[in-house]
Amino acid sequence: MPTYLRRIVGEDALEYLFAPLVSSTFDSEPEDLSGVFVLLALRLLSDGFTLQWFEGGNGLLTRTLAQRVPVRSGANVLSIETEPDGAKVRYRSASRERSVIADAAVVALPGSLVPQVCPKLTPAERAFFDEVHYVRGVIAFLLLERAPAALPYYGVSFPRREGIDLYGLAADHHKQGAAPPGAGLLNAALTARTAERLWEAPDAAVVQHVVDELARTPVGRLAPPQTAVHRWEAMLPQFRVGYTARLAAFLSRTDRSPRLAFAGDYLVGPYTEAALTSGMRAATEIARALDKR
Ligand SMILES: Cc1cc2nc3c(=O)[nH]c(=O)nc-3n(C[C@H](O)[C@H](O)[C@H](O)COP(=O)(O)OP(=O)(O)OC[C@H]3O[C@@H](n4cnc5c(N)ncnc54)[C@H](O)[C@@H]3O)c2cc1C
């Protein structure tokens, strides 16, 4: 991606505007992302994008949807296979193994886990899922007694040329209800290289490193009384070079696993609305397929 973007916008705009924006939004180096994906994302961000959020967090969406249908949670799905009479789902719940035969199943697992749970994928489906890749990431959350006056923005991105071990900082206290009144809540995303280096480090060491790195920026030295560190083995799907073409081929495939549809942000874009869109598509696919029977 950068060669193309560098040619169009020049070195400085790439390093000090586009690369930080892309890296802090998608927790990736721009070199690791597809050009098509980055251009689409830049169009989205520059085309009247405004920050919106669910009060109390993104879980509000799934909790609200779950109120409308019977939901069984806490089940670890072991396999999903198409049988002559339906889609067989084997799962473990309360340390007992059970199974259910459904008319059809929407597989809404992270894409990288699909091949191990769905053993009967078509060869083309398996080849696609083997290429779905996720970013491994670490985020440190810092709760501050007061929201820092130096941060009137929601997001701050750090240009990599400055050698800061963070992609960016989100000031979550701007989201209503995310932090106690007047308090500051920041989340700092470590760069991929730093996340790799500190993956096994104690939380306190990660927080200390984040605070030290921020002290080198205009944000200054912070003294958060409460902190938390989250590590995600599969944080966000990474739309790598060549992925959009593979995705287009997958979406238009004719040889499909019967009675199965797939949903997840890796099929549309790495954010909640995209995951929802993929779920609505999957439901439509299943409804059409069952209608034809
Ligand atoms: C730190 C962070 C911040 C984010 N912030 C935002 C944001 O501000 N705005 C935004 O729009 N998006 C945000 N996102 C992205 C958003 O969370 C995702 O795009 C969205 O959750 C993807 O939904 P999904 O259904 O595709 O996958 P997931 O939400 O990952 O759901 C997949 C589910 O499958 C479950 N699962 C896995 N294996 C099994 C199994 N064997 N059996 C049963 N269940 C299984 C997992 O536990 C998980 O619950 C953020 C993501 C992260 C990590």
Name the CATH code of domain 2-56+134-237 (choices 3.40.50.300, 3.40.50.10280, 3.30.1180.20, 3.90.660.20). 3.90.660.20
pLDDT recorded at residue 150: 85
β-bridge partners, 186 = 142, 171
| C-alpha of residue 105 to centroid of ligand 1, in Å | 19
Is 113 close to ligand 1, i.e. is its CB under 6 Å away? yes
Distance 18 CA to ligand 1 centre (A): 26
Instruction: Answer yes or no: is the C-beta of 172 below 6 A from any ligand 1 atom.
Output: no
204: burial class by Cβ within 10 Å (0-12, 13-18, 19+)?
exposed
Return the pLDDT at 113. 97
Q: Does the beta carbon of 137 lie inside 6 Å of ligand 1?
A: no
CB 104 within 8 A of CB 259: yes
**Which amino acid is present at 3?**
T
Between 67-81, 124-138, 279-293, the lowest mean confidence (pLDDT) is in 279-293
Q: Give residue-wise pLDDT tens across range 105-153.
A: 999 999 999 999 999 999 999 999 999 999 999 999 999 999 998 898 8
What is this structure's pTM?
0.93
Confidence of residue 7 (pLDDT cuts 50, 70, 90): confident
User: What is the reported pLDDT for 4?
Assistant: 79
What is the residue extent of each domain of the chain?
Answer: 2-56+134-237, 59-132+239-292
Ligand 1: residue whose CA is nearest its atom 4: 271
Q: What's the pLDDT at 1?
A: 64
Residue nearest (by alpha carbon) to ligand 1 atom 44: 76
Question: Which residue's CA is the nearest one to ligand 1's atom 13?
Answer: 271
Segment 166-215, tens digit of pLDDT? 999 999 999 888 899 999 999 999 999 999 999 999 999 999 999 999 99
Q: Topology of domain 59-132+239-292, per CATH?
A: FAD/NAD(P)-binding domain (3.50.50)
d(CA 29, CA 196): 14
